[in-house]
Structure 1
């Protein structure tokens, strides 16, 4: 756990968040700056700076993040209408919190291309 990481603070419960799903290894919570009617974040509780690092170090955990994203979509009632999963990896991808996380976006029709 990183002492200066916002998401590590959420895991430690020193930073408040609206949690929608939790397991021993992952946490899903509402994004404080939603970009869609439903916008949740799913993070591993262990600190990895980005999705690529997490997947290389622990592929099983990467799968758990994806499974938790599906559970978070179900909790937000967007599982039947569709949702988008986004991992921003690196500054050029607009990653602003350098703790691996998956955005779960839904509640409206998504456009393509996304970037």
Structure 2
């Protein structure tokens, strides 16, 4: 049920939004932030989060999605272009049983190449230099997508 478990303002994404923890940012506007997933399932795997506190889709104010989804689309287009992907997988987990590990609403944007399997969700941490490079590739591609 919405509101059963309160939002924890000390979750890692909240700390990123407050500037307490660094991230490899790709895009930011008044309502959203996009950054690289530190445990990517594929090259270019990014996350998009709303700045409004929500544990997940189940308790989010519906107006959150009018800002969140256009950013997801923008990042998906840029990631597909930057990594010459054949497609883009959009994933959103809700609660532990579904695989959610960080309890701040977030959407995974994963560039997919035919024949290249995904790594496990929540797997190995990526090298910071590689994440910085991938973030720059997506930022550059953002200049050419709408």
- Asked if the contact 1:21–1:71 (Cα under 8 Å) also holds between the matched residues in 2, the reply is no
User: Equivalent residue of 2:47, what SS?
Assistant: strand
Q: TM-score, normalised by structure 1?
A: 0.82
Shift of residue 47 of structure 1? 1.1
Please state which structure has a larger fraction of its residues in strand: 1
User: Which digits, 9 at most, give the CA deviation of each residue in 1:82-113, with x for residues without a partner?
Assistant: 211111001111100000000001142387xx
- Structure 2: segments with no counterpart, 5+ residues: 1-6, 118-146
How many aligned positions are there? 108
Q: TM-score, normalised by structure 2?
A: 0.66
- Asked if the contact 1:28–1:40 (Cα under 8 Å) also holds between the matched residues in 2, the reply is yes
2:103 corresponds in structure 1 to 98
- Asked if the contact 1:38–1:107 (Cα under 8 Å) also holds between the matched residues in 2, the reply is no
- Structure 1: segments with no counterpart, 5+ residues: none
Structure index of larger Rg? 2
User: Which digits, 9 at most, give the CA deviation of each residue in 1:51-94, with x for residues without a partner?
Assistant: 1211xx2x232132111011112333259742111110011111
| 1:8 and 2:21 aligned | no
